[in-house]
Chains A and B, each alone.
Chain A
Amino acid sequence: MRYGFTSTLLAALLFVPSVHAAAQTSARTSDGKPNLQGIWQVLNTAAWDIQDHSARLGVPAGQGIVVGNDIPYTPAALAKKRQNFANRATADPESKGYLPGVPRIMYMPFPFQIFQAPDQIVMIFEYDRGIRTIYTNGTPHPRGPLNFWMGDSRGHWEGDTLVADVTYFTDETWLDRAGNFHSEALHVIERYTLADADHIDYEATLEDANVFTKPWTMRMVLYRRKEPNVRVLEYDPGRLIDEANASR
């Protein structure tokens, strides 16, 4: 353990009045890694559009999360993106209640919870009951070809940054509700760095030679949900769509 008796005692004294504070996560896990556990959520508008955008009816205006704002689409892919945008109400896989893929699930406007052990990190998402397991046990990606809606994630620590390599995607997920997209050749490298106790600097670099002329990066902050009784609940879009249709 990094912290000696004195600081533990001090911490105990400081937190005695609140049961929940006592249950709060410590800064490091038992194996000395930054403790990413807890319930997190973005406070941005990337779910609607990962790039800068003015308000549209039902869509909050927002500053994009793409570093430099431009996505280096090939000319054909840019045309496809524009077509996706025009048809987004029905063409967006989200409208069918499908798993949103990675990194899109990270910036859906719903909380998710991170659980951590030395050999794996599990993320549970309120949106579509999504699950991600980032194996940190040194295992490589399985031999492909494979297609997963949420990809296959293998991680390691670079100092205090968790780096996840995610591959084996489908070409059926989008990056937002504005038609930004990728192919099944997508390769994502994510970096999770605890900026302080309640903020994670999150970065994802996307490579996809079928769609982009070069790799590009998105960057955002994950905020810790601090309400003492906050829980990840359930938003199962497929079931809700079926339920709405069934009652018509």
Chain B
Amino acid sequence: MRTSALVLALAIALLAPLGAQDEKPKTVGGCPATGSLEFHTCAIEKAKTFTPPRTRSGKPDLQGYWRGQLAQSFSMEGVRGNEPLVGDKVMPWRIAPPMIVDPPDGRIPYQPWAVPIGRIGVNYKDYVDPRTACGGAGVPRLAQQDANQIFQPDGDQFVLWLFEDHHVQRMIAMDGRPPLGDGITVTNGDSRGHWEGNTLVIDSKNFNGYNWLDDSGNFYTDTAHIVERLTMIDADTLDYEVRVEDPKEFTRPWTMAWAQVRVKDPGFELLEEACREGQRDVDSLLQQGFKYYFGNPWRERAASR
């Protein structure tokens, strides 16, 4: 078992808000909080009638601090009552609906070869979660629960999306500059953005394929193409949609969605969350036989074909 101080600390951190969630709101931004599909379906309609505030240059102003809602880190496919990890003594998983809104069954449309790697498979059983190894959570897992900040600097050439999680940043180029060449990969991809009406559309490629989607080891490879859409549906709520395409791994493009809700605590700022500098868990996980994940399972599969 992955018993470690970090996991325990995480469990405590997760359980604390869990108590409060007994009276969790029935709506988020005026849309149903029952699940991603219900929320997202409503949010798309709601966005049509909401006019977001504007920056001084006239762009939709998405700036501020946000935190994911209707999101959990266990599995993008949701957690069912019969999942054994729900009864786990160290870190019990919580029953949750899928965060996948397309396909409608809420399942990742893996090609057959990829099923045993993701979905509490080879990745989960044999590898250190890249987030635990301080690689950062990756797109879009970054935006599941941790505090984040959208920053629209002067001149509109970039939008920054900053995350508290292991000081991860995303620089989204808005000025149509040429994309990176195929020979360069980066953890969170080469992100280029544009506005479609009031929606910030972020188009990312050049991933290194080192990211997991969730604690279950669901994953994408270095050929993934991810398109995210951020749309304000009221002054304090964003609809966040993430479409993943990777013909090497999936039978079809598929889409996740959840909410980003404004953090309104007075004086709130992102703090530095150093990770590698203080972590004491990876050595023990390696001693237990877990291996570093650098996309090995899907790379080995590609090499053996």
Residues of A within 8 A of B (CB): 20, 23, 25-26, 29-31, 35, 37, 96-99, 113, 115-118, 120, 122, 124, 129-131, 133, 135, 139, 142, 148-150, 172, 229, 231-234, 236, 238-239, 242-243, 245-246
Contact = CB atoms under 8 A, between A and B. Distances in A.
Contacts of A135: 269
Interface in B148-173: 151-155, 157-158, 160, 162, 167-169, 171, 173
A151 B261 CA distance: 28
A98 B56 CA distance: 38
Contact of A242 (B155, B187, B292): B292
Given A148-B271, A148-B274, A238-B134, 15 more contacts: A23-B157, A23-B177, A31-B154, A37-B154, A37-B157, A98-B274, A129-B136, A131-B169, A133-B162, A135-B269, A150-B272, A229-B178, A233-B184, A239-B134, A243-B294
Given A113-B171, A232-B171, A37 B155 contact: yes
A29 B160 CA distance: 17
5 contacts: A25-B157, A115-B153, A142-B269, A149-B272, A150-B272
B274 A99 contact: yes
B57 interface: yes
B186 interface: yes
A19 to B, nearest CB: 8
Contacts of A149: 272, 274, 277
Contacts of A172: 277
B58 to A, nearest CB: 11
B291 interface: yes
B212 to A, nearest CB: 14
A247 B155 CA distance: 44
B157 A124 contact: no
A30 to B, nearest CB: 5
A30 B56 contact: yes
Nearest to B276: A238
Contacts of A120: 151
Ranked nearest first, the 6 interchain pairs of A and B with the lowest CB-CB distance are A115-B153, A246-B292, A238-B276, A29-B154, A234-B186, A148-B272
A234 to B, nearest CB: 4
A129 B137 CA distance: 14
A233 B56 contact: no
Contacts of B57: 30
A226 to B, nearest CB: 14
- Number of contact residues on B: which range applies? 35 or more
From DSSP, what is the main secondary structure of chain A's interface residues?
loop
Q: Most A CB atoms within 10 A — which of B56, B155, B175?
A: B155
Contacts of A35: 154-155
B187 to A, nearest CB: 6
Contact of B154 (A113, A117, A133, A242): A117
Contact of B177 (A116, A229, A236): A229
A66 B187 CA distance: 36
A28 to B, nearest CB: 9
Given A97-B276, A117-B152, A238-B134, A243 B292 contact: yes
Contacts of B158: 115
B160 A23 contact: no
A233 B292 contact: no
B270 interface: yes
Q: Most A CB atoms within 10 A — which of B135, B152, B274, B291?
A: B274
Contacts of A31: 154
Contact of A246 (B153, B155, B294): B294
A29 B153 CA distance: 10
Contact of A231 (B153, B180, B187, B291): B180
Contacts of B135: 236, 239
